[in-house]
Structures are given as C-alpha cells and as structure tokens.
Amino acid sequence: MISQSTGTGPGIAVVTGAAGGMGAAIARKLHADGRRVLLADIDTAGVEALAAELSPDGSTARGLELDVSRKVGFEEALATCRQIWGIPTIVVNNAAVTQAADLMNLAEADFTSVLTTNVNSIFFGCQVFGAAMADQGFGRIVNMASLAGQNGGTATGGHYAASKGAILTTTKVFARELAGRGVTVNAISPGPHDLPVVRATVPPDRLAGIVAGIPVGRLGSPSFVADMVGLLTSDDAYFVTGACWDVNGGLYLR
C-alpha cells in the first residue's frame, strides 16, 4: 500500500559534503526554502561555520561530522537528527572524493579509497535514511552522480568515473525498493561546474580547453543544480523516481 503521508511543513534535510562547493550551494537553497538543515561533512569546522552563518542560534541549521565511507557514520547521523529535530524528509548524498589519476598506473589503494568513499556514501545513505523515511511514509533522496559516470570521464580518474557509474545503478535499486512506501530516489549528473574542486583538480591550461569543448561554452552554475535539488525534493515530486537529471552543457546527449 502506498502511504498517504506527505512532507508538508518545514521539512528536515540532511546534506552530506556540505562544507563547501556544491554541497554548500545545496544546503543554502534548502535552508532558504524553509528547511531545517543538518550539514554533514568530514570537515567539521567547515560545516559548523556554514551552520552558524545560516542559523546563528542553531534552530534551523546544525553542523555534524560524518565519515560517509562507513555505514555506522550514517546510523549515528540519523540518531543525531532524530534527537535534534526528528526523522529527515530530505537527504542529499553529495559527499565524494574527486581525484584525477592516470588510468593505467592507478594504484590499488587509490582505487579502493575512491570507490569505497563514493559508493558507500550513496549506498548506505540510501539504506539507512531510506529505511527511516519509508517507516514514516515520506522521503526524498537525491544522489549526486556525474557526467563522468555516463561518458567514462575526461578530466577525472577512471576510479572516480567508475564510482559515479555505480551511483546511477544504486539510485535505480533504491528507487524501486522504496517507491511504494512514499520515498523517491533520484540522481543529478553534473558536468563541469564552476566549483573550487574543479579548478583544483584540473590545471588552468587544461580547464580552458575543457570549457572550449563544452557546447554552451561555459562552466555550469552550482546554484542551478541546487534549484534542481529543490525541485526533486518538493512534495509534488512524487512521480519522479529512479531518474537521472543531466546538467552538462550539451556534453552528453541522450
């Protein structure tokens, strides 16, 4: 039976990797929309600073240390969220390791580290938070994938591309599992965006060439991706699940 519960009200959002870049843009958007936001990141100082900026008294934004590579981290985050505000209605699995590497010389340790962090963060985020949301009959999960997981990657390493491809499959798995219990699970797949991590990963001379190869001729806007998250996590988004929304400037067409 499909639950008739809804997320109407202020809502409680958890955003992983919220200390900066895309995660911070998403957290700002959800908070501006009236959500209470738990900002989770391994960078504790970063999320605490952002939380203090958004909500000086801590009533609508809190920072939380979270290691997304381990299931227990999500279990502890859920327990903390329950204690502060209750079961979340929105989860954005954004945290990831972005790392460039030469494919044929990629070290086993680097491969394992990136795959473990990036895939575990999505799988256990969906599993732990998804179960709690399903029990209450409503939830919206958004997983941040990447163009690299669709076209094999260009500027990033093969391990990063492989991890993002796995995220797209994981999204479908949990979408099918949770759909009948009021929880949607979707992915957003950004191409190159105007973010510090992009500029840190790609040398300036190479970045210029990448931008020149984007059909629209410029990097993407993180604020627009945040708007996409806002739309996918709205109450009326119940008919979108298992989808991947592309935002890549025309680099990948289907």
> Catalytic residues, which ones?
160
Mean of the pLDDT values across residues 30-51? 98
Measured CA to CA, the distance from residue 15 to residue 77 in angstroms comes to 11
In a domain, 1, yes or no: no
In a domain, 253, yes or no: no
Per the structure, how many domains does the chain have? 1
Query: Based on the number of CB atoms within 10 Å of its own CB, is 60 exposed (0-12), middle (13-18) or buried (19 or more)?
Result: middle
Measured CA to CA, the distance from residue 130 to residue 137 in angstroms comes to 10
pTM > 0.85: yes
In a domain, 252, yes or no: no
Q: Pick the closest to residue 24 from 56, 58, 57, 48 (CA basis).
A: 48
In a domain, 4, yes or no: no
Confidence category of residue 2, pLDDT binned at 50, 70, 90 = very low
- pLDDT tens digit string along 60-75? 999 999 999 999 999 9
In a domain, 82, yes or no: yes
In a domain, 72, yes or no: yes
What is the CATH number for 189? 3.40.50.720
In a domain, 3, yes or no: no
Measured CA to CA, the distance from residue 143 to residue 188 in angstroms comes to 6
In a domain, 68, yes or no: yes
Q: Which domain holds residue 97?
A: 12-247
Lowest mean pLDDT among 37-41, 174-178, 207-211: 207-211
Q: Pick the closest to residue 85 from 114, 55, 113 (CA basis).
A: 55
